[in-house]
Amino acid sequence: MNRQYLFDHYPNVVVTSECFKLHDEIISQIDEGEILVRNHYLSLDPYMRGRMSKAKNYAAGQELNTVMQGGTVGEVVESKHADFKVGDTVICTGGWQLYYRTAPTMDSNHVRKIDVSRIPMSVYLGAAGMPGITAWYGLNKIIKPQSGETLVVSAASGAVGSVVGQLAKQKGCRVIGIAGGPEKCEYVVETLGFDDCIDYKAYPDAETLSHELRQLAPNGVDAYYENVGGYIMDAVLDNLNAFARVAICGLIAGYDGRAIPISNPRAILVARASITGFIISDHMDIWPQALAELAEAVAKGVLIFRESVSVGLESAPDAFIGLLQGHNFGKQLVKLI
């Protein structure tokens, strides 16, 4: 028996549990060339909100009455495919469900075997997975930080931001995080080793946040890794140095359907800044290098990460709604087994 969440309703501005519908189905026999994966962990990510919409997006929207899409790690429990055997640990787009039946093809990497001898399975959904690789790409391929530069990263305690800051520190940058609440800020500085972290909740508008950032970065900001958008972005843009680079990875503040403007685009011109949006799935070619570096850093203990794990498939909707509201602390996972 498989249990899964279907996409049941488009959100009316805010995502609620009514958007999802629990569904049970009998797992039929797999065919030649197929495998059956028992999902152990489901990854919840902000991008999912973007797909729950009919608006133009970089990926196809989630169709109503289909299984909610999402990355999973799990174990092969049945196989009629030459490259996979029962007991293999794999990462795949297994969706919001307990079992994932699929026919892996050589020209796609939607099912990949992972090595769990040195790092836990769940890390392949976080620091050594899509979020970590997203951090790696935006930092190394867009921002290209130089030693001595000042880098700011928003959502600094999150799955992407925490990796961005640690990698930038290793490259000799001064790193300032932005996160929500004193607990997250303390973690960012004390545990992750960032130089500073601003609690944006203490600075409720662009002006006060910009002023605080100026105190911490009196020589300005050379690079900005954006995970959030909204007035946080306005405040950072206001402090950019000449020729600053901004990588836009996510704009979570706009995911609830409200467009959050950039209030002063003139800052882009004044700073002669470059702002580049990117989506990691466009850059699969860097995956092997990035994954190898990140997994090695995790195994060695020089890349620290944190997970926020909710237990049971049935907890997925609330965990996702909490993620959109910033309630998670670290990579949001759902433990399915």
Please give the residue ranges that form the binding site for a copy of itself (CB under 8 A). Answer: 56-58, 229, 233, 242, 248, 250-251, 254, 259-266, 268-279, 282
Minimum CB separation of residue 106 from a copy of itself in Å reads: 26
310: phi then psi, degrees, rounded to nearest 5:
-100, 150
Minimum CB separation of residue 271 from a copy of itself in Å reads: 7
Of 208 and 263, nearer to a copy of itself (C-beta) is: 263
Minimum CB separation of residue 263 from a copy of itself in Å reads: 5
Minimum CB separation of residue 252 from a copy of itself in Å reads: 11
Of 91 and 260, nearer to a copy of itself (C-beta) is: 260
d(CA 145, CA 139): 7
CB-CB neighbours of 91 under 10 Å: 24
CA 82-87-92 angle, 5° bins: 75
Listed as own residue / partner, the contacts of 205-212 with beta carbons closer than 8 Å and 24 or more positions apart are 205/231, 206/231, 206/232, 206/234, 206/235, 206/238, 206/263, 207/235, 209/178, 209/235, 210/234, 210/235, 210/236, 210/238, 210/239
Minimum CB separation of residue 282 from a copy of itself in Å reads: 6
98 near 4, Cβ under 8 Å?
yes
Burial 48-75 (b: 16+ CB within 10 A, else e): bbbbbeeeeeeeeebeeeebbbbbbbbb
Of 19 and 248, nearer to a copy of itself (C-beta) is: 248
193: left (phi over 0), alpha (psi -120 to 50) or beta: left
Of 13 and 82, nearer to a copy of itself (C-beta) is: 13
Minimum CB separation of residue 171 from a copy of itself in Å reads: 22
Distances, alpha carbon 34 to alpha carbons 81, 92, 319, in Å: 6, 13, 31
301 near 10, Cβ under 8 Å?
no
Minimum CB separation of residue 59 from a copy of itself in Å reads: 10
Chain centroid to CA 168: 17
Minimum CB separation of residue 200 from a copy of itself in Å reads: 17
DSSP, res 97: B
Of 260 and 334, nearer to a copy of itself (C-beta) is: 260
Of 121 and 279, nearer to a copy of itself (C-beta) is: 279
The continuous run of DSSP H or E covering 184 comes out as: helix 182-186
Of 278 and 329, nearer to a copy of itself (C-beta) is: 278
26 near 3, Cβ under 8 Å?
no
- Burial (CB < 10 A; 0-12, 13-18, 19+), residue 319, is buried
Of 69 and 122, nearer to a copy of itself (C-beta) is: 69
Of 144 and 272, nearer to a copy of itself (C-beta) is: 272
Minimum CB separation of residue 299 from a copy of itself in Å reads: 32
d(CA 316, CA 324): 12
